[in-house]
Structure 1
Amino acid sequence: MEKTIQKFLEFRKQFTPSQWQEINHIIDSQFKKKAVELQLDDQDVEVIKNVITNSNLL
């Protein structure tokens, strides 16, 4: 795991903070687009409900 983290950090050094922020923004946008397409089944809903309940989010 440490080697993987080290590789990631080396990869990350290629970008300025501004570039990295833009990359993250692009990735988040793609995730949001995919989330709209996502269809949850009953098991997914149950897991989400349990996490919310156990985390006292609502």
Structure 2
Amino acid sequence: MACRVTEQGEMIRFKYGLPEITVSSLSLYTGAILEANLLPPPEPKESWASHYG
């Protein structure tokens, strides 16, 4: 499995300039990817159905 992340140039130093921040950022990305791919999607709320008809 491959994961590609696109960042603006000025954000690279901000997010990855220090090892502690790099580990934290990559941990957040990894958790979000796993959650999005392994957990079932949320059930639509009743209010959404009435709103979008």
Please, what TM-score do these two structures have when normalized by structure 1?
Answer: 0.41
Task: Name whichever structure is richer in helix by fraction.
Answer: 1
TM-score (norm 2): 0.43
Higher relative contact order (CA 8 A, sep 6+): 2
